[in-house]
């Protein structure tokens, strides 16, 4: 396999205005950030671990895609590939198992709401929510750091809280009592006075405001809890986010017709969802084999918006994801059978187990490290096998993945292994592009993030 030199695209097929967006040369540390021209729609809500729109643009160009093609993102997350395809007039399909991410994707490709109507309705909701809070003796001014709720306000009502089962799902301290109360009041007003034309966009705006300004969460890239914010503006933060959405929709009025469908489903079970031999290209970024629990990234908004209400629902969600961490391993998982004869994956699992024994690591999670490696590559093998029925002959695929050393510092060359697995399934590996390098949290080594390029001969 060869290392391609750049991510710059070939000449565009489409003549839409978005093809005029330049490919900005950026420093390695900026490769995963939104560029200024990417903020419309993409910034409505985005995973901290999302891959950037400029990568999608590059492969749309490289693959020569246009309105007569159809693109699939089987790990669509918050819709980066789908939004880019829609901007370029290319039909697309997304698959996502996480209900919060699935919801975000469906909203981000829905450009039908009238921008003025959305803004007007949001302002009405804001007035109603502020009035209700005022009756309780609560202002939405904030922020008051280091001040108790009692010192901040003479609150004349008992603060609202979540039910205990839902509250137990959250990272402790992820949102302070007063901001939580104000968020629940706003949600209640939205439900009582909602307009179905705008409701989903208004809920997504609240999800974004929660993780960017209302909560105590910190992303770097692991999700953690930062200093407590006793009070912050909630209604104002939400309203500003909705108004930004309205402004974006105004610029997209003439591009809403391009179809973009999003299914909430397991990426390992997609054959029944998509018409056989209907996909011309795949542009996606699956989870990496590491110890990141991807459900934690969206936990707060998932709980507050009602997508996950109990441990049973959380467990069901985790079982629908390709296993990539020890918190996603269950007794009946059997994806490892898909790579039982793959000597490279088996050697990595054996190396991890040998390192564990050598270091005397005996915790339950550490004992699972070798199994996670096998389940991850087995799950990806199962996905690639299922995907074959959907691909047109000559379909091109781009998988953004990263090397990992999370399991006792045993290096996992994810891209190389996926290319080998794909070749065994009948795909033609075309090369591996270097996207960027990043610094490993523990070892401080430079790890490669790459784009594995495949072709389906048909």
Percent of the chain having pLDDT more than 90?
Answer: 75
DSSP conformation class of 303 = H
| Residue 365 near residue 290 (C-beta atoms within 8 A) | no
pLDDT tier at 120, thresholds 50, 70, 90: very high
DSSP conformation class of 338 = G
At residue 103, φ and ψ (nearest 5 deg) are -60, -45
What element of type H or E holds 281?
strand 279-284
Q: Give the pLDDT confidence score for residue 103 in this predicted structure.
A: 98
Q: Give the pLDDT confidence score for residue 21 in this predicted structure.
A: 39
Cβ contacts of residue 458 below 8 Å, gap of 6+? 277, 391, 392, 393, 394, 395
Q: Give the pLDDT confidence score for residue 443 in this predicted structure.
A: 61
DSSP conformation class of 293 = -
| Mean pLDDT for the stretch of residues 277-306 | 94
User: What region, left, alpha or beta, does residue 79 occupy, with left being phi > 0 and alpha being psi -120 to 50 degrees?
Assistant: left
Q: Which residues pair with 282 in a beta bridge?
A: 72, 397
At residue 95, φ and ψ (nearest 5 deg) are -125, 130
| Residue 311 near residue 168 (C-beta atoms within 8 A) | yes
Rounded mean pLDDT of the chain? Answer: 88
Q: For the chain, how far is it from start to end, CA to CA, in angstroms?
A: 21
Instruction: Quote the crossing angle between the two packed helices 115-135 and 177-192, to the nearest 10°.
Output: 130
Q: Give the pLDDT confidence score for residue 292 in this predicted structure.
A: 84
Neighbours of 275 (CB within 10 A): 10
pLDDT tier at 221, thresholds 50, 70, 90: low
Which structure tokens are listed for 273?
A: 């969802």
Task: State yes or no: pLDDT of 267 exceeds 90.
Answer: yes
Find the range with the poorest average confidence among 149-158, 241-250, 264-273.
149-158
State whether residue 10 is helix, strand or coil: coil
> What residue has token string 């500003």?
240
């Amino acid at each position: 396999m060869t290392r391609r030199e750049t991510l710059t695209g070939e000449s565009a097929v489409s003549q839409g205005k978005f093809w005029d967006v330049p490919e900005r040369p950026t420093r390695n540390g900026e490769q995963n950030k939104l560029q200024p021209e990417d903020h419309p729609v993409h910034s409505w809500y985005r995973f901290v671990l999302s891959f950037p729109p400029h990568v999608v643009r590059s492969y749309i160009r490289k693959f020569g895609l246009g309105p007569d093609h159809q693109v699939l993102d089987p790990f669509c997350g918050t819709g980066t590939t789908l939004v880019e395809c829609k901007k370029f007039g290319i039909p697309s399909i997304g698959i996502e198992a996480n209900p919060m991410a699935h919801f975000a994707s469906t909203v981000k490709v829905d450009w039908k709401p009238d921008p003025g109507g959305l803004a007007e309705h949001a302002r009405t909701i804001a007035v109603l929510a502020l009035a209700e809070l005022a009756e309780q003796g609560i202002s939405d001014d904030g922020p008051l750091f280091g001040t108790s709720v009692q010192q901040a306000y003479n609150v004349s009502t008992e603060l609202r809280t979540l039910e205990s089962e839902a509250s137990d799902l959250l990272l402790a301290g992820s949102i302070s009592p007063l901001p939580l109360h104000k968020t629940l009041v706003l949600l209640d007003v939205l439900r009582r006075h909602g307009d179905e034309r705008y409701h989903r966009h208004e809920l997504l705006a609240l999800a974004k405001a929660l993780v960017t300004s209302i909560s105590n969460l910190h992303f770097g890239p692991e999700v953690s809890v930062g200093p407590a914010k006793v009070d912050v503006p909630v209604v104002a933060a939400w309203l500003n986010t909705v108004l930004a959405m309205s402004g974006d929709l105004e610029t997209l009025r003439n591009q809403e017709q391009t179809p973009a469908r999003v299914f909430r489903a397991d990426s390992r079970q997609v054959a029944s969802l998509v018409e056989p031999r209907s996909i011309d290209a795949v542009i996606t970024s699956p989870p990496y084999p590491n110890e990141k629990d991807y459900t934690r990234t969206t936990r707060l908004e998932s709980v507050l918006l009602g997508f996950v209400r109990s441990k049973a629902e959380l467990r069901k969600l985790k079982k629908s994801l390709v296993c990539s961490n020890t918190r996603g391993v269950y007794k009946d998982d059997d994806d490892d059978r898909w790579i039982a004869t793959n000597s490279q994956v088996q050697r990595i699992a054996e190396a991890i187990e040998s390192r564990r024994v050598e270091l005397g690591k005996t915790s339950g999670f550490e004992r699972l490290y070798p199994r996670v490696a096998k389940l991850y590559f087995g799950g990806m093998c199962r996905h690639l096998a299922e995907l074959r029925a959907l691909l047109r002959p000559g379909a091109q695929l781009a998988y953004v993945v990263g090397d990992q050393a999370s399991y006792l510092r045993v290096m996992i060359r994810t891209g190389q292994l996926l290319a080998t697995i794909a070749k065994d399934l009948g795909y033609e590996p075309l090369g591996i592009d270097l996207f960027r390098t990043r610094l490993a949290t523990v070892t401080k080594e430079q790890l490669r993030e790459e784009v594995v390029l495949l072709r389906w001969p048909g």
